A and B are shown apart, each in its own frame.
Chain A
Amino acid sequence: MSIKERLSGNEAVAYAIKQINPDVMPAFPITPSTEIPQLVANYIANGQIDTEFIPVESEHSAMSAAIGASAAGARALTATSSCGMALMWELLYVAASNRLPIALALVNRALTGPININCDHSDSMGAKDAGWIQIYAENNQEVYDNFLQAFRISEHKDVMLPIMVCQDGFITSHALANIELVEDERVKAFVGEYQPENFLLNEQMPMAVGPYAVSNYYMESHRAQVEAMENAKQVILDVAAEFEKISGRKYGFFESYRLDDADYAVVIIGSAAGTTKDAVDELREEGIKAGLLKLRVFRPFPADEIAEALKGKKAVAILDRSETFSTQGGPLTSEVCAALYKRGVNVRAFSYIYGLGGRDYTVEDAKEVYYTVKKATESGEQLSEPVYIGLRSREDD
């Protein structure tokens, strides 16, 4: 029997960490993820878990300590947001290339500037090419469930990559909402113990971690990372199937919401998907065949599956919560369009930007996207892309 509770997204992640009882957690606080190390530190101080907590002096050190711990053979994790992740930058690549299955609880927050504490995806999307698996959540339930699955994916022998479990800062991290928790024993049995194949403290098999790689090796190292990322696809699905057995909740690369028979689809990541679902239902009542593809796994990118799901749609609107300044829209747009083009799926795709720096995204905003896309598709009209949702103009002020 699952446990019905009410927790914020940060509380949900901290609770998952408590249930997992990892070996080492170095962390440095930053809004809006501060509560995660704070709550874990409480669990440790109360004797509920025996995780080694390392209060470091910066995020650079947090990731460095996580790398050291993970290389030594420990199950390690940390939590951060925004500028905190930016300060980890070089170590993100070190963690991934050393094939260390560290988990990072990332609470998405805009990068400066201007300075802003609210949600967008510029922090994790900036790190999309660092070699980390990235999983996103719509709500507190999903971020909890994703965290329980994280180490099973990252520590799989065919994967051995670090994993970023993302949720929307404040929107889910600080919102109290209903949640169903999995019992401690079931979590313990599901997550299991970390049994690294190779680790620094193994005196039977001495090894080096992070040595210099000359040109003869660097490229092969990267190719191996790509193969691990490819392998992660099947592992993510297998772990999700197993998780469904203990939770009753189903996960895949993405969730299709009323998508099969839809004419117009929105592709989106995170909490805004929930808001868009309400819009889809209202549009369906108005006779518009709206559908939604909510992406859960951004790295590895499930290009085949996305192209297949969007095949035959009249049009697709891809909504990004971060800029690339390419003038072509955000990172999700680029990846989805590449997936469609490479597979010969000829669907008109519109590029949208929303929610930067915490700009609110409402049911009406979502409906407006569908109306606009439908009209432009029917009339052949060109939009000025990327379309910015809820952008103020001088006349508004």
Chain B
Amino acid sequence: MFAVCAKRTARRKIGLKNTVEIRWHGRGGQGAKTAALLLADVCFKNGKHIQGFPEYGPERMGAPITAYNRISDDELRVHSNIYDPDFVVVVDETLLEAIDVTAGLNPEGAIVINTTKSKEEIAKHLNGYAGKVYTLDARKISEDALGKYFPNSPMLAAIVAVSGVMDRDTFLSQMKESYQHKFAKKPEVIDGNMKALQVAFDEVKP
């Protein structure tokens, strides 16, 4: 499987015009797929053409999973996975050792990683990636805001901040609406999630 992906990465150099492509790496149960769907959702509300989709293997907690987003001003017709993303989000830093997370990543783009490690420590896992590297301690943000470890909300805010697909106020107000809908039966978690988003949006840094 990996050999085919590598070959395809080398061939795929055209890119869609007016389209931002994002690849998510996470582990089953961390909510990377949910985050990709939430990002698609919030971009839809912002008037974009969107795709949010997971790549499924054998489903189990803890297994590496990949999810994708395309966000565009134009109609999206392509239905393949994304091999040369503009942005990559790494929800779980232990994946850095297992997966070539920067494969095909646009050097003009960026990678956002949930980690407490330094840039120097991280760099050795990025295959010499020349683009921008952003880090975020999503565990601390989540535990402070929610009292539990749900890295996907902070990472969602981080990728919105880094990719610039929409501005801070629009993003936060639309996410509030989404959470009110999503958590209609447990409204007590809305404030914590909103706080996690705000802190992550402001704290993510190169």
Q: How far is the CB of A38 from chain B (nearest CB, A)?
A: 16
Contact with A along B1-26 (1 / 0, CB 8 A): 00110011001101010000000000
Bound: A178/B80 CA distance, A: 17
The answer to whether A118 and B50 have CB atoms under 8 Å apart is: no
Which residue of A is nearest B33, CB measured? A174
Question: Which residues of chain A are near B77, meaning CB under 8 Å?
Answer: 138-139, 274-275, 277-278
Question: Which residues of chain B are near A358, meaning CB under 8 Å?
Answer: 56
Which residue of B is nearest A176, CB measured? B52
Question: Which residues of chain A are near B40, meaning CB under 8 Å?
Answer: 6, 176-177
Q: Which of B30-45 contact A (CB under 8 A)?
A: 37, 40-41, 44
The answer to whether A176 and B8 have CB atoms under 8 Å apart is: no
Which residue of B is nearest A274, CB measured? B77
Bound: A362/B12 CA distance, A: 9
Question: Which residues of chain B are near A361, meaning CB under 8 Å?
Answer: 79-80
Question: Which residues of chain A are near B11, meaning CB under 8 Å?
Answer: 364
Number of interface residues of A (CB under 8 A): 32
A57 CB-CB contact with B under 8 Å: no
Which residue of B is nearest A359, CB measured? B4
Q: Which of B114-152 contact A (CB under 8 A)?
A: none
B163 CB-CB contact with A under 8 Å: no
Q: How far is the CB of A120 from chain B (nearest CB, A)?
A: 14
Q: How far is the CB of B21 from chain A (nearest CB, A)?
A: 12
Question: Which residues of chain A are near B54, meaning CB under 8 Å?
Answer: 170, 174
Given A117-B56, A364-B11, A176 and B78 contact (CB-CB distance below 8 Å): no
The answer to whether A278 and B78 have CB atoms under 8 Å apart is: yes
The answer to whether B56 and A363 have CB atoms under 8 Å apart is: no
Place the interface of chain B in its size category: 20 to 34
A102 CB-CB contact with B under 8 Å: no
The answer to whether B80 and A362 have CB atoms under 8 Å apart is: yes
Question: Which residues of chain B are near A175, meaning CB under 8 Å?
Answer: 51-53, 79
Between B11, B77, B83, the greatest number of chain A beta carbons within 10 A of the residue's beta carbon is seen for: B77
Between B11, B49, B78, the greatest number of chain A beta carbons within 10 A of the residue's beta carbon is seen for: B78
Q: How far is the CB of A186 from chain B (nearest CB, A)?
A: 23
B184 CB-CB contact with A under 8 Å: no
B81 CB-CB contact with A under 8 Å: yes
Q: How far is the CB of B73 from chain A (nearest CB, A)?
A: 12
Bound: A85/B148 CA distance, A: 42
Which residue of A is nearest B68, CB measured? A175
The answer to whether B53 and A176 have CB atoms under 8 Å apart is: yes
Question: Which residues of chain A are near B14, meaning CB under 8 Å?
Answer: 282, 363
The answer to whether A360 and B56 have CB atoms under 8 Å apart is: no
The answer to whether B53 and A174 have CB atoms under 8 Å apart is: yes
The answer to whether B49 and A178 have CB atoms under 8 Å apart is: yes
B99 CB-CB contact with A under 8 Å: no
Q: How far is the CB of A357 from chain B (nearest CB, A)?
A: 11
Which residue of B is nearest A362, CB measured? B80
A69 CB-CB contact with B under 8 Å: no
The answer to whether A6 and B44 have CB atoms under 8 Å apart is: yes
Bound: A160/B58 CA distance, A: 40
Question: Which residues of chain B are near A390, meaning CB under 8 Å?
Answer: 4, 8
Beyond A174-B56, A271-B79, 8 additional pairs, beta carbon < 8 A: A170-B54, A170-B56, A171-B53, A178-B44, A277-B77, A278-B16, A362-B12, A364-B11
Chain A residues engaging chain B, CB cutoff 8 angstroms:
6, 32, 117-118, 138-139, 168, 170-172, 174-178, 271-272, 274-275, 277-278, 282, 358, 360-364, 390, 392, 396-397
Q: Which 7 A-B pairs have the closest CB atoms?
A: A175-B53, A274-B77, A396-B3, A271-B79, A176-B52, A6-B44, A362-B80
List 11 A–B pairs whose Cβ atoms lie within 8 Å, in order of A's numbering. Answer: A6-B44, A32-B56, A139-B77, A168-B79, A170-B54, A278-B77, A361-B79, A362-B8, A390-B4, A396-B7, A397-B3
Chain B residues engaging chain A, CB cutoff 8 angstroms:
3-4, 7-8, 11-12, 14, 16, 37, 40-41, 44, 49-54, 56, 58, 76-81, 83
